């Protein structure tokens, strides 16, 4: 059977029509599309979109259908993809040196891009849309939710691991009068975060989480990471939780806000790993609990993954509306970013990936019952 016929059967199984009128239907501009996708699966699908070989009537809807129908399982991985996955299992992709390079490859692209895409506080994680109708209020609601879950009180010392551009550090210091130490390996984030928090009891450092203990900051009453655990890597989850334990006071509490996988993974999606988040791997709840089980009690798990669909589409809409303001990003970059944002939204829409906030306390400590906040 010819390659286009095989591809057509796969699209038929997903209910996708070539040149059709449905939102999830697609148009092929280059017949090399078939060989590329059947050879390199999800990597080939993304790269052929970047190169303009196909378009969808509505990209997010097509990718939602593809993920819901699990089209990926209908295409055998190429030798190259299998080799990449095997190498990822054997190699630590988030050593200190690699973690810095990985972070700067994404977060140092340019603050001008993120300023146009994100909310006014530049929060680059899922908003909480329970009672919100716009991105700014959804992000403030998420930050407030985290503060309440952590039980922040005036004068507490808070460590924000992977602090981004300082949005949460600023919010917590202003609203709850806490002392915040934020760390990030990305220089562009650190620079802007320092500017935004200069008048507050906030310290921002360019550090890997594994080096915080040696920085002489002492221990903390609360620890949080908001969209950082995805960058830790499965080989380092145990170390990550051990480091947090060494930095947290015995009566303390921590919260990790992370995208999560339904499956136990040792490597990331090959397209996202190559073009968006080098070294990124989404942890499963099983991996998280396994890494935490010796020293931590899991007090609460809150899943609001569908809210990330809404957040990502808001980012996409913001960027589309202001794309003309940043002409130095070329057309291929625009298509790459479209695929990233809308493909991610599709993952949450199809429930292929999740968003969890997990609250932890040190185990073997006498304390009152944790009352979950929503």
Q: How many residues does the chain have?
A: 374
Task: Check whether residue 351 and residue 255 sit in a common domain.
Answer: yes
Distance CA 237, CA 118 (A): 28
- Cα–Cα distances in Å, from 158 out to 122, 176, 182, 208? 20, 11, 8, 17
- The reply to whether 28 falls in a domain is yes
Between residues 294 and 330, the one the model is more confident about: 330
- The reply to whether 371 falls in a domain is no
* Nearest CA-CA partner of 68 in 306, 342, 346, 304: 346
> What pLDDT band is residue 118 in, cutting at 50, 70 and 90?
very high
Task: Check whether residue 70 and residue 132 sit in a common domain.
Answer: no
Token reading at 200: 């507050």
Distance CA 107, CA 184 (A): 10
* Nearest CA-CA partner of 120 in 103, 105, 134, 131: 134
The pLDDT of residue 224 is 98
Residue 1 predicted with pLDDT over 60: no
Least confident residue range of 70-84, 171-185, 292-306:
70-84
- The reply to whether 233 falls in a domain is yes
Contact 251, 367 (CB under 8 A): yes
Map tokens 């993974």 to a residue.
265
- The reply to whether 92 falls in a domain is no
The pLDDT of residue 281 is 97
Task: Check whether residue 69 and residue 102 sit in a common domain.
Answer: no
Split into its structural domains, the chain has a count of 2
* 326 three-state secondary structure: coil
The CATH number of residue 163's host domain is 3.40.50.150
The pLDDT of residue 249 is 97
Task: Check whether residue 104 and residue 66 sit in a common domain.
Answer: no
Distance CA 317, CA 116 (A): 10
**Averaged over 339-364, what is the pLDDT?**
97
Task: Check whether residue 106 and residue 169 sit in a common domain.
Answer: yes
The pLDDT of residue 75 is 82
19: containing domain: 3-76
* Nearest CA-CA partner of 262 in 13, 53, 70: 70
> What pLDDT band is residue 88 in, cutting at 50, 70 and 90?
low
- The reply to whether 250 falls in a domain is yes
- The reply to whether 87 falls in a domain is no
Task: Check whether residue 217 and residue 286 sit in a common domain.
Answer: yes
The pLDDT of residue 243 is 97
Q: What is the pLDDT of residues 155-212, one digit of tens each?
A: 999 999 999 999 999 999 999 999 999 999 999 999 999 999 999 999 999 999 999 9
> Across all residues in the chain, what is the average pLDDT?
95
- The reply to whether 29 falls in a domain is yes
> What pLDDT band is residue 39 in, cutting at 50, 70 and 90?
very high
Task: Check whether residue 168 and residue 302 sit in a common domain.
Answer: yes
């Amino acid at each position: 059977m010819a390659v286009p016929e095989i591809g057509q059967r796969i699209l038929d199984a997903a209910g996708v029509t070539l040149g059709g009128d449905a939102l999830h239907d697609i148009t092929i501009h280059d017949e090399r599309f078939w060989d590329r996708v059947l050879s390199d699966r999800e990597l080939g699908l993304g790269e052929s979109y970047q190169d303009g070989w196909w378009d969808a009537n509505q990209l997010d809807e097509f990718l939602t259908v593809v993920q819901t129908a699990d089209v990926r399982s209908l295409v055998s991985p190429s030798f190259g993809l299998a080799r990449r996955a095997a190498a990822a299992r054997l190699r630590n992709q988030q050593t200190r040196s690699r973690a810095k390079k990985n972070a700067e490859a994404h977060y140092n692209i340019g603050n001008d891009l993120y300023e146009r895409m994100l909310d006014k506080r530049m929060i680059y994680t899922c908003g909480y849309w329970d009672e919100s109708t716009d991105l700014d209020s959804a992000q403030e609601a998420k930050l407030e939710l985290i503060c309440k879950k952590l039980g922040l009180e005036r004068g507490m010392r808070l460590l924000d691991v992977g602090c981004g551009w300082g949005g949460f550090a600023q919010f917590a210091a202003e609203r709850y009068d806490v002392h915040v130490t934020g760390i990030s390996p990305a220089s562009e984030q650190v620079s802007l975060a320092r500017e935004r928090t200069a008048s507050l009891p906030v310290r921002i450092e360019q550090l890997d989480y594994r080096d915080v203990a040696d920085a002489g900051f002492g221990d903390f009453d609360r620890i949080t990471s908001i969209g950082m655990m995805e960058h830790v890597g499965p080989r380092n989850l145990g170390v990550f939780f051990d480091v947090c334990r060494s930095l947290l006071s015995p009566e303390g509490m921590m919260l990790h806000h992370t995208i999560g996988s339904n499956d136990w993974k040792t490597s990331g999606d090959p397209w996202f790993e190559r073009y968006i988040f080098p070294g990124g791997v989404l942890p499963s709840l099983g991996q998280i609990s396994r890494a935490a089980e010796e020293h931590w009690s899991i007090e609460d798990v809150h899943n609001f993954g569908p809210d990330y669909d809404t957040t990502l589409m808001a980012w996409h809409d913001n960027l589309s509306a202001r794309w003309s303001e940043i002409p130095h990003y070329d057309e291929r970059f625009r298509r790459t970013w479209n695929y990233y944002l809308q493909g991610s939204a599709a993952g949450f829409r199809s429930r292929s990936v999740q968003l969890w906030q997990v609250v932890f306390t040190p185990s073997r400590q006498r304390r009152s019952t944790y009352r979950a906040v929503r």
